[in-house]
Structures are given as C-alpha cells and as structure tokens.
Amino acid sequence: MNLKQLEVFLAVVETGSFSRAAEATFITQSTVSQHISSMEAELDLKLLDRTGKAVLPTAGGRILLDYARQIVSKTREIPFAIKRLKGLEDTFLKIGASNIPGSYMLPMVLPLFIPHYPGVAVTILQGDSRETVDRLQREEIEIGIIGTLFDDKNIDFRPLGQDQIVLVVRGDHRWAKGRPISMRELLSERFIIREIGSGTEKTVQEELAKAGIQPGQMKVQASLGSNEAVKQAVVHGWGAAFISEMSIKKELVRGELAVVKIKGLKIFRRFYLISRSKRDLSPPARVFVNFLTEMYGADKRKK
C-alpha cells in the first residue's frame, strides 16, 4: 500500500464514483480500479460496495478511511512544516547542558537569543557532562554544552569559552582573610565535592593530582549532585569546595562566601559545544550555535 493508493481511495469515497475519482487524481478509470483491487487484495478485505448510483465504503473501508485521511493530511503538511523550519517559525530546539552551563551560561544567552528568533522554542535538558553526552548519542538533544572533553570519535567538541574554578569557604572561615594557603593546608580541611561525572570535579581532581595531591588524601565531607547544593553546603559551614567562579558572584557580594587563593595553583577549564559527528544541524540549531560563537568566541574548528 502506498500514498497514491490512499489518495485514490479517498477520491473514490469523497466523489462516490470511480470515473470522478479518476478525474480528480489525473489517472484513468482502469488505473483507479487497479489501485482499489490491489489494496483489497493486500488487506484481504472488501473496501468498497459498488451500488448502482454510488460507491460506498464497507465497514473495513470506513476504518481505512479514517487512517487514510490522517496520513494524506499529514503528508500534505510536510512542505509547509519544512518551510516553517527553514524560516525558523514554530520550530523546536532541544539543548543539553551540564550543571554550570545549564544554570549560568544558557540563562544569560536565551533572553538575548529569543527576541531575534521568537519562532524557536528552546528546551534545556540538564545533567552532568556524561549524561549530556549520552543524551546526545541517543539523539534526545541536538547540541549540548559541557565542561569535560571525552575521547569519543562520534562527537564533535568545540571549545566554547573558559571558566575558572576557585576554592571557596564560608565568609567567616579562618581562610577567608585573604592570605594565600599552601597545598598542604588543603589536607587539614573538610571538602564538599561534586558527584562522579561532573566536569568540575574531573578537572579539579586532575589539577590537584598534577600538584601532588591525590583524591584519597582529601577529607571528603559530602559528595553532592549539583553546583547549587555544593554552594549551599559551604554557605552553611559544612566545609570548603572547589566551584565555578561564575556561579558565586552574588554570594561573594553578600559576604556569604570567600575565595581562597592557593600558592602555585590556578584551575581553569573550557566549556565545549558538542554535536553528533557527520550529522547536519537543523536550521534552529545552526543559528543558536552561531549565536553562542559570537558571545563566547567558540572555535569553529572541530577538536
């Protein structure tokens, strides 16, 4: 069964005549009969009753009629839907984001993007960097922004801005007086860390290891599932934490948190715009990628 047969079947039912259906579909009356006979043979069911004055659908024909109308109607909508997509009208874009980009970067970008492209409805699915990559591989999202570079040949990673990860303590902590501390002093404090899969935590552990401090040496008070949870734990005096500098601006102004400098250690990490390799981006995804590139200076070369 094919689309042309369904169109012919509809024409017969709607006109009540094989000859008028032939005129409506620009084929011969014998071809109309062939299409109907082919469909009846395939379904092993009579679809039309040929009375003296009109052609009427049987009970099986009425069932087919409902589906045929839906299929043909939806098919006729395809060119208009593609036109809307190209014109960025009534289109949808699903973006994945790890914690920091999802909570701080995208909320700054979207209010600037939407006025330029009001026909694009954006959905953000947030998780850690690994979850975002997995969503991209399952095609639940079209693009993503994460803070970790993975070894995956099926995904394109494009650098998208830079973030500094800083050590923070509560505003009245003994380290909050501004004196730089040594690497060894880190071992005397309890720490709040992010969960496995977090780009922030992966970067921190890698940089500490380079400086001579292994993960097992740190006193871990708690492992929490979001940047906001870590931040609140520090504010309430649970311990110290390494956290994105862009996420603590308000707390620094209010004096709830203080940044602690560490002698010989500065931690920076890149964000990455990710997409599936060898897959063309949709028009809304392309304009959003270009918008991000202009804001954050993304390198258009594949890394």
Q: What would the pLDDT profile of 151-210 be if each residue is shown by its tens digit? A: 888 999 999 888 899 999 999 999 998 889 999 999 999 999 988 778 788 889 999 999
- Reply yes or no on whether the pLDDT at 109 is more than 50: yes
Residues 170 and 255 in one domain: yes
- Reply yes or no on whether the pLDDT at 28 is more than 80: yes
Contact 206, 255 (CB under 8 A): no
Q: Tell me, what CATH number does 32's domain have?
A: 1.10.10.10
Residues 281 and 139 in one domain: yes
Residues 18 and 56 in one domain: yes
Model pLDDT, residue 302: 43
Q: pLDDT-derived band of residue 303, with 50, 70 and 90 as boundaries? A: very low
Q: Tell me, what CATH number does 148's domain have?
A: 3.40.190.10
Residues 281 and 136 in one domain: yes
Residues 129 and 249 in one domain: no
In a domain, 259, yes or no: yes
Q: pLDDT-derived band of residue 298, with 50, 70 and 90 as boundaries? A: low
Distance separating alpha carbons of residues 262 and 264, to the nearest angstrom = 6
Residues 96 and 73 in one domain: no
Residues 254 and 128 in one domain: no
179: which 2 tokens? Answer: 């004196």
Q: What angle do CA 101, 105, 107 make, to 5 degrees?
A: 115
Q: What would the pLDDT profile of 52-61 be if each residue is shown by its tens digit? A: 778 999 999 9
Contact 1, 39 (CB under 8 A): yes
| CA distances (Å), origin 84, targets 81, 94, 139 | 5, 17, 22
Counted domains in the chain: 3
Q: What would the pLDDT profile of 218-260 be if each residue is shown by its tens digit? A: 899 999 988 899 999 999 999 999 999 989 999 999 999 999 9
Residue ending a domain, choose from 56, 83, 110:
83
Mean predicted lDDT score pLDDT of the chain? 89
Residues 210 and 121 in one domain: no
Residue with tokens 């591989």: 137
> Regarding predicted confidence, which is higher, 99 or 32?
32
pTM: predicted TM-score of the whole model, two decimal places: 0.64
Residue ending a domain, choose from 83, 117, 133:
83
- Reply yes or no on whether the pLDDT at 4 is more than 90: yes
Q: pLDDT-derived band of residue 82, with 50, 70 and 90 as boundaries? A: confident
Task: Domain of residue 245: give its range.
Answer: 163-269
Task: Please say whether the dihedral angle defined by the alpha carbons of residues 18, 23, 29 and 32, taken in this order, is positive or negative.
Answer: negative
Model pLDDT, residue 7: 94
In a domain, 17, yes or no: yes
Q: pLDDT-derived band of residue 301, with 50, 70 and 90 as boundaries? A: very low
Residues 109 and 200 in one domain: no
- Reply yes or no on whether the pLDDT at 85 is more than 80: no
74 CA to centre of own chain = 26
In SS3 terms, 95-123 reads as EEECHHHHHHHHHHHHHHHCCCCCCEEEE
For residue 145, which of 136, 46, 154, 153 has the smallest C-alpha distance?
Answer: 136
Establish how many alpha carbons lie within 13 A of residue 282's alpha carbon, considering only the half-sphere containing its beta carbon. 20
In a domain, 302, yes or no: no
